[in-house]
Structure 1
C-alpha cells in the first residue's frame, strides 16, 4: 500500500486532538481525526489504492505509529479484510494486544478480530486461553474474558465462568469491568446461570453491578 500515514497526517486537526487525548488520559498522541472521518478517509484510500495484500505485516507497521488513529485504522482493516487469515495470525493478534495496550484497541481486537479467528480455528482456544488467563498481562486476560462476547448460545459457559473466577480478586478496573461485561452479555442467553454465578462468587461491586445491569438482583 502507498503511504496511508501521509494522508491521515494531512488531515490532522489540532483542535480535535486535544479533547481526544484528554479522553484517553493523555496516554496517546492523536491526529484529531474522529471515527467517522477516519473510516471515510480509509474507504477513499482503499478505493483509490486497493486493499492491502500484506495485511498482517501492514497492521504491525500501523501499530508502531505514534498517533492513535493508526492503531484504529489497523483494526478497521482487520475487521474488513482479516476474516479468513491463516491460523498463525493469532500470533500477530497476540502481539497487537500487548502493543500500546488500552481498552479501545484491546476491545476491538478481542471482541471482533480474535473472536472471529477462534471461531474459525476453535482448536486454538485451549492453548491461548490458558496462557492468557493464567498470565500476568491484564490485557491478555481481558481478551480471554471477552472474546466470547458475541458467541451467544455458542458460548462455552464453563470456560467463561472459569475465566471470570480466576480474576475475581483483581483490583484492576479493566478486569472488573470485563468480568461484569462478559456476564451481562451472557445473561441475555441464560440469566439464571448468571444469577447463580453472581450469587455464589465474591465479585467486586463493579463486576456485580455490570453483570446484573439488565436482569436485576435476586
Structure 2
C-alpha cells in the first residue's frame, strides 16, 4: 500500500476526537487534528522515515502530499521526515521546500523549516543571498524564516547578514515578524551581548517595542 495512504489509515483508526478539539483550538482552528500525542503520532510513521533515511533518497512527492493534507499531523510527519533527512538536503532542495513554507502556514511549522534551511546555510553560502531575498518577500512567513534561520549558530553567526535581514524588516506591524526580530537578537546576545546592545541602541527608534523587549532580555 502507498505509504501516504497507509499512514492516513493508521491515523484515522487511532483518532482521538476528545483530544483533537483542544489541539485544533491551540492552532486557532486553522487545521484539523487527529488528537494524537507526539509519541503516538511518531510511532505511526517512524519506520517509514527510518527506511527512507537509510536509502538516502528524499521522497518529494510524498512530502508534497503530506504538506497539502488538511490534517496538521501530516504536516508534522513531513517536518519530522525532513529533519531526519537533513544530511541529504542541499541548496537546490530549498526551492522545493519553499513550497512547504508557503503551504498551510503557521508558526510551529515555520519554526522547523527555518532550522532545516539554516543547516544547509552552514555549508553553502548561497543560502545567505537567498535569505536576503526572502527577508524582503511580501509573504511574512518567508521573512520569518530569513530572520530566524541562524538561530543557535552562536559564534558561527554571520553578523553582517543578520543585521541586514533585521533592518529589512523594521517598520512591520506584524507580530510574528517583530517577535522573530527580538528572538534572533536575544539568541545572539548569549554569545555577543555587546553587538546586540549596540544594535538595539542604534536602531531603537526604528524597532518595535516588542522586538526591543525580547531582544534585551539577556543584556
Fold conserved (TM > 0.5)?
yes
Partners of 1:99 and 1:211 in 2: CA distance = 29
Q: What is aligned with 2:98? A: 94
Partners of 1:44 and 1:156 in 2: CA distance = 37
Partners of 2:60 and 2:124 in 1: CA distance = 17
- Per-residue deviation at 1:214? 2.1
Partners of 2:48 and 2:145 in 1: CA distance = 30
- Per-residue deviation at 1:86? 3.8
Residue 218 of structure 2, aligned match among 208, 214, 218: 214
Partner of 1:199, secondary structure, is helix
Partner of 1:75, secondary structure, is helix
- Per-residue deviation at 1:5? 1.6
Q: Deviations for 1:6-32, whole angstroms, at most 9, x for unmatched residues?
A: 112221111111101111111111111
Q: What is aligned with 1:184? A: 186
Normalised by the size of structure 1, how large is the TM-score? Answer: 0.91
- The runs of 5 or more residues in structure 2 that have no matched partner are none
Partners of 2:123 and 2:165 in 1: CA distance = 21
Aligned length: 211
Q: Deviations for 1:75-109, whole angstroms, at most 9, x for unmatched residues?
A: 00110123222432111111111111110110011
CA contact (8 A) 1:133 1:140 kept: yes
CA contact (8 A) 1:177 1:210 kept: yes
In structure 2, relative to structure 1, the CA distance for the partners of 1:46 and 1:194 (3 Å cut) is closer
Partner of 2:122, secondary structure, is helix
Normalised by the size of structure 2, how large is the TM-score? Answer: 0.90
Q: What is aligned with 2:201? A: 199
Partners of 2:23 and 2:111 in 1: CA distance = 18
Residue 19 (structure 1) aligned with residue 22 (structure 2): yes
Partners of 2:88 and 2:49 in 1: CA distance = 19
Partners of 1:59 and 1:123 in 2: CA distance = 24
Residue 143 of structure 2, aligned match among 141, 144, 162: 141
Q: What is aligned with 1:57? A: 61
Residue 82 (structure 1) aligned with residue 82 (structure 2): no
- The runs of 5 or more residues in structure 1 that have no matched partner are none
